[in-house]
Structure 1
Amino acid sequence: MKAVLIGATGATGKEVLDLLLAHDKFTEVVALVRKPLPIAHEKLHAVVVDFDNLSRWSDVIQGDVVFSCLGTTLKDAGSKEAQFKVDHDYQYEFAKLAKKNGIPTFLLISSSGADPKSWIFYSRMKGQLEQNIEALDFESFLAFRPGALLRPQSDRKGEKIGVSVISFFNKIGLFRNMAPLPVSRLAALMVRYSISPPIGYTVVGSGRILKESKKLVK
């Protein structure tokens, strides 16, 4: 199998990339990146692209499955408009090119609470992205909606606060389906689903991710 990946330098994307390169089912992995990757591998084809003009690299978006792990924070982006460009526009353009090139399977890291009608900007943005990709009618489209993620050496203050709050409630028996999830487990589940994906649009919610990923990573 051949996989195409965006977001390979993010916490989950790095895990996905490592798993794809190590998996004997995958013979080639194309990673579209904004700057050169610090690793080399016989299966890896890293392509430096301009995401504002991604269609120029349409010819390299070829394969059996694509992974969209791109994302940023409002703080890092600097504005809602800039965050929307990364979290929605870039990924939607990637999806359109993948569909145009006949790739049958699309896997997306979305977010718990994704809803195109939400009054919360982040949830609405993620919901709009899912809705737009669903309309492209991939043979298989999987939207993973994790809750709080545990990222190694994370410097995201808001995320750390969220993890602490959820962890506290978990200790008293509440919100078990929203327990913080190591990104390694999310990545492992995504790769497992990519090999034999269900037909149609599948939402993999936080509770399901927690349950199904538990035995994949020790």
Structure 2
Amino acid sequence: MKQPKQPKRPKPPTPARRQLKRALVFGATGLTGHHLTEQLLANKNYREVICVNRRPMGINHERLTEIIDDYSHLENLKIQQSINDVFCCIGTTIKKAGSKENFKEVDLELPVAIAKLAADKKAGKLLVVSSIGAKAGSGNFYLRTKGEMEKEVLRIEGPLKTIVRPSMLLGERNEKRSAESIGQWLMKPLKIFMIGKLRKYRPIQAADVARAMVAIANSQPTTQVIFESNDLQEIANGG
């Protein structure tokens, strides 16, 4: 039986020269953002990790600075320190948001506002969590919104931008998402059959997404702007 052709693996990011940096994280109370914050604090390249959250994280660390803000006026956010890397892990569901309009405020308008803030702060890099299948012209409202967000973020001049598109996220959330839990239960046994072009649809641990984001942020600049879920898994596994 002829084996399906395997897609080309992404080249692992080339580590950049070590430097003490300052990270700014939005959405650190979410699944991916929480893992990201923990990994940034464990990474010796960062002298300080600043998290802007709507509610306290419940983490105490000497290099963690937490700002409680409702995100309504990010242009007025007072951050005196210089920022090297900005991470946007903002995301919700239509059910939790309550309406499509509210969903767009969180998943489109907020990341764009964060990208503008990163530009104003003259940050070196901006990494934004999107979704697999994101496409501005999609017939699916969720994927269309994510695609429009990507398009708007990439238009903003300033920091080197990276879009990460994870597939279904695996991990324990503080909040319950019934549909997501069912999806995880269904997808896990099917993972081994997702080969070739289907590899990017394999579910991925949120901790691995975070690990890949930290690796990308601490690598030398490349021409690759969008990292699909299988790219993230490769990087998280060490290339």
TM over 0.5: yes
Look up the SS of the partner of 2:138 in the other structure.
Answer: coil
Tell me the equivalent position of 1:87.
107
Partner of 2:118: 98
| 1:49-76 Cα shifts (integer Å, max 9, x gaps) | 1211111115357400100001111111
Please list, as runs of the form range in 1=range in 2, the aligned pairs for 1:190-209 lying within 5 A after superposition. Answer: 190-199=213-222, 202-209=225-232
Structure 2 portions without partners, runs of 5+: 1-20
Aligned residues: 216
What SS does the aligned partner of 2:73 have?
helix
Name the structure 2 match of 1:170. 191
2:206 aligned to which of 154, 179, 183: 183
Structure 2: distance between partners of 1:94 and 1:110: 14
Q: Which has the higher contact order (CA 8 A, sep 6+)?
A: 2
| Offset, 1:169 | 3.1
Percent of aligned pairs with the same residue? Answer: 31
Q: How far apart, CA to CA, are the structure 2 residues paired with 1:182 and 1:74? A: 22
Q: Is the 8 A contact 1:62 1:98 kept in 2?
A: no
The residue type paired with residue 124 of structure 2 is P
Are 1:109 and 2:129 counterparts? yes
Query: CA distance change for structure 1 residues 35 and 22 in 2, over 3 Å: closer, same or farther?
Result: same
**Which stretches in structure 1 are left out of the alignment for 5+ residues?**
none
TM-score normalised per structure 2? 0.83
User: Normalising to structure 1: TM-score of the pair?
Assistant: 0.91
Whether contact under 8 Å (1:58, 1:97) holds in the other structure is no
What is the identity, as a one-letter code, of the residue corresponding to 2:202?
A: A
1:152 aligned partner: 172
Report if aligned partners of 2:122, 2:159 keep a CA contact under 8 Å in 1: no
Higher helix share: 1
Q: Does structure 1 conserve the Cα–Cα contact (< 8 Å) formed by 2:93 and 2:103?
A: yes
Q: Which moved more, 1:20-29 or 1:199-208?
A: 199-208
